[in-house]
């Protein structure tokens, strides 16, 4: 078959292009708006071309989630470095706010990172599991530090406390991105209340 258009047969960097297009589709149409066919159309390749770079749709979603973890970690980390060593309670509150803000600005990515689409319905890539574990370790470290500074109770070990407090934060976040609490201002107050409840 002759190739009338000037588009080359091989794309060159299809994997990257797919990831970028997928992020953009998810951003404006949500996860439901992302289909392998629509994605392929947008990039300008055949409908099954993406399958040479991602085993299936689940693998593509895992890759997006992975990028999400990196983004979130970088953002939160950078924010923490700005604070002096003596403002620990501030530091904790700031982390909570940054966490919620990230989810608010990237709700669909957050859903992929911590939602059932990948973790229950599909199955997380080995690579994704590593990244997510590393991300959680950041939280455990922070909690450990907060315990030593007396911001959080030492009644339970750092790991358990980290699990429990992160679960709380995650719950609050989910309410926002799942549309149960739509009001962001309202949610900020609840977050404030939550931190007061948890910290001592």
The footprint of a copy of itself (CB under 8 A) covers: 30, 32, 111, 114-116, 119-121, 153, 155-156, 160-161, 163-165, 167-175, 177-181, 189-191, 193-194, 196-198
Please identify, using beta-carbon distances, which residue of 36 and 162 lies nearer to DNA.
36
Quick one: which of 16, 24, 30, 48 contacts DNA (CB under 7 A)? 48
Site for DNA in 5-24 (CB under 7 A): 8-12, 14
User: What angle (nearest 5°) sits at the alpha carbon of residue 73, between those of residues 23 and 14?
Assistant: 30
Please identify, using beta-carbon distances, which residue of 47 and 133 lies nearer to a copy of itself.
133
Q: Which residues fall within 8 angstroms of residue 23, CB to CB, at 6 or more apart?
A: 64, 67, 109
String of contacts with DNA for each residue 52-81, x by CB under 7 A? xx--xxx-----------------------
Among a copy of itself, DNA, none, partner that 82 touches (CB below 5 to 8 angstroms by kind): none
Provide, rounded to whole angstroms, the least separation between the CB of residue 126 and DNA: 18
Burial pattern 70-100, b for ≥16 Cβ within 10 A else e, equals eebeebbeebeeeeeeeebeebbbbbbebbb
Please identify, using beta-carbon distances, which residue of 11 and 104 lies nearer to DNA.
11
Angle between helices 14-29 and 107-114 (to 10 degrees): 110
Cβ of 176: how many Cβ atoms within 10 Å? Answer: 21
Angle between helices 88-105 and 107-114 (to 10 degrees): 100
Site for DNA in 109-148 (CB under 7 A): none
Measured between alpha carbons, how far is 97 from 11 in angstroms, rounded to an integer?
41
Provide, rounded to whole angstroms, the least separation between the CB of residue 182 and DNA: 23
Please identify, using beta-carbon distances, which residue of 18 and 152 lies nearer to a copy of itself.
152
In this structure, what token pair is assigned to residue 61? 């979603």
Point out which residues bind DNA (CB under 7 A): 1, 3, 8-12, 14, 34-38, 40, 45-49, 51-53, 56-58
């Amino acid at each position: 078959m002759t190739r009338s258009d000037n588009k080359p047969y091989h794309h060159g960097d299809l994997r990257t292009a797919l990831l970028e297009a997928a992020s953009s589709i998810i951003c404006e149409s949500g996860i439901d708006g992302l289909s392998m066919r629509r994605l392929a159309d947008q990039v300008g390749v055949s409908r099954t071309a993406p399958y040479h770079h991602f085993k299936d749709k689940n693998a593509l979603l895992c890759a997006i989630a992975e990028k999400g973890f990196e983004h979130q970690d970088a953002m939160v980390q950078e924010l923490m470095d700005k604070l002096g060593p003596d403002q620990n309670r501030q530091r904790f509150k700031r982390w909570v706010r940054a966490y919620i803000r990230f989810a608010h600005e990237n709700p669909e990515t957050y859903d992929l990172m911590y939602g059932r689409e990948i973790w229950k319905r599909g199955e997380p890539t080995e690579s994704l599991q590593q990244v997510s574990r590393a991300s959680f370790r950041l939280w455990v470290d922070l909690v450990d530090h907060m315990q030593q500074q007396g911001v959080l109770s030492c009644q339970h070990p750092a790991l358990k406390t980290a699990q429990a407090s992160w679960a709380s934060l995650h719950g609050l976040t989910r309410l926002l991105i799942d549309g149960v609490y739509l009001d962001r201002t309202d949610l900020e107050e609840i977050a404030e209340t939550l931190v007061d409840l948890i910290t001592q």
